[in-house]
Amino acid sequence: MAYYRQVGTVPPKRHTQHRTDEGGLYYEELMGEEGFSSDSSLLYHRGLPSAIVDSQVWELPDQTTTPNHPLKPRHLKLHELFPKEVWAETDVVTGRRLILGNGDVRISYVVSTQDSPLYRNAVGDEIVYVESGQATVETVFGTLEAKPGDYVIIPTSTTHRWLPHGEGPLRAYAIEANSHVAPPKRYLSRYGQLLEHSPYCERDLHGPTELVHGEGTDVEVLVKHRAGGAIVGTRMVYPAHPFDVVGWDGCLYPYTFSIHDYEPITGRVHQPPPAHQVFEGNNFVVCNFVPRKVDYHPLSIPVPYYHSNVDSDEIMFYCGGDYEARKGSGIGQGSISVHPGGYAHGPQPGAYERSIGAEFFDELAVMVDTFRPLELGEGALACEDTNYAWTWAGRGPGGSQQ
Ligand SMILES: [Fe+2]
């Protein structure tokens, strides 16, 4: 994110002495991507950011995945995964249940009212979409406030924790990349500014403005990382609290962006999903479908045409409004549809005809398109509506009516 920010105090010249009131030195840390060749920030710590006193295995929740074989579209009902009784004992970090994953991205879901431990993801950036509820996200860069409809973008290896608050639980849809994520390149100038035709701009991105100071000794931080070809966890213990930053500046930091600040691109005829793109990572994109005026050609068909996106699996998370093309399928708030490559998908029976003449769709959905097949996590297997694949034909194996 090439957009400079500064919070707290930094010395006038980088890599020079930054001293406490008592004359001691603050410790400078460069946090940078792609081997000193991409975006970075400089953080100034009270203590040594490298001081640890212990390192133990942190057993991650079940990360096993099952191939989508035999191939079929899927409907997953995420709200079934977290009954109310478990909210108070679930946190946003350790309580995530894996829904879908491949070598590029993993999608998980969690419903929580519990504060999370300190955590950082060393595998890649996280995009955590807040379906409902509110939270303070304390990070080494300072504090973010997350509200319904926010994407919380947390760069790789940013130490942070989630503190849900307010009415209701925090429902979080976590898209964990194995890479960095950013706005689509076509919306950026060659120096990284969001261009005029971008559906959002820098004013819509909200970075930390206040630093957070943590107290305590022997403080645990959960680290998700790669080892032995797998994604694993380690529990590190720091002698002092890692939230000890007195200032930072640079172009790398966590931020929030609200789906409600996304200005939809519309047209006379149906606009393809790239018109709705909001982020991209390595081998996947994130698009969002927001309330909007729909196609206004006099003969337009506002719901999507049937399509074989032959290189992608397409995952739609239905998180608000009323999704016109899926009426009659059982899909509702909190559902995911999985439409894999190798299979043509489109509106449910009747929706194609019914949409003619519509002027506005009141829908809210977050879509992830991957360029490699996704496999099903344990969370997906636990909440699948197995009838979904047959809803276009009206009957499934053995001729049973749906
Ligand atoms: Fe699609």
Tell how far the Cα of 287 is from the centroid of ligand 1, in angstroms.
11
Q: Check residues 322 and 289 and name the one with the higher pLDDT.
A: 289
CB 272, CB 304: distance < 8 Å:
no
Q: Check residues 324 and 159 and name the one with the higher pLDDT.
A: 159
CB 244, CB 214: distance < 8 Å:
yes
For residue 283, what pLDDT band results from cuts at 50, 70 and 90? very high
For residue 401, what pLDDT band results from cuts at 50, 70 and 90? low
Which residues are part of the catalytic machinery? 270
Q: How high is the pLDDT of residue 60?
A: 97
Q: Do the domains 262-386 and 5-259 match in fold?
A: yes
Tell how far the Cα of 164 is from the centroid of ligand 1, in angstroms.
33
Confirm whether residue 3 is marked as ligand binding: no
Q: Which residues pair with 66 in a beta bridge?
A: 376
- What Cα–Cα distance (Å) separates residue 140 from each residue in 22, 24, 25, 36, 315? 23, 21, 19, 20, 32
**Can you tell me the mean pLDDT for 94-103?**
98
Confirm whether residue 306 is marked as ligand binding: no
Domain ranges of the chain: 5-259, 262-386
Residues 366-384: tens digit of each pLDDT: 999 999 999 999 999 999 9
CATH class of 262-386: mainly beta
pLDDT value at 337 more than 80? yes
Confirm whether residue 262 is marked as ligand binding: no
Q: What are residue 166's phi and psi, to 5 degrees?
A: 85, -170
pLDDT value at 400 more than 70? no
**Can you tell me the mean pLDDT for 35-40?**
94
Tell how far the Cα of 308 is from the centroid of ligand 1, in angstroms.
8
For residue 322, what pLDDT band results from cuts at 50, 70 and 90? confident
Tell how far the Cα of 217 is from the centroid of ligand 1, in angstroms.
50
d(CA 6, CA 2): 13
Neighbours of ion ligand 1 (CB under 5 A): 314
CATH architecture of 5-259: Sandwich (2.60)
Confirm whether residue 345 is marked as ligand binding: yes
Tell how far the Cα of 273 is from the centroid of ligand 1, in angstroms.
8
For residue 335, what pLDDT band results from cuts at 50, 70 and 90? very high
pLDDT value at 113 more than 90? yes
Tell how far the Cα of 207 is from the centroid of ligand 1, in angstroms.
32
Q: Give the mean pLDDT of the chain.
A: 96
pTM given for the model: 0.97
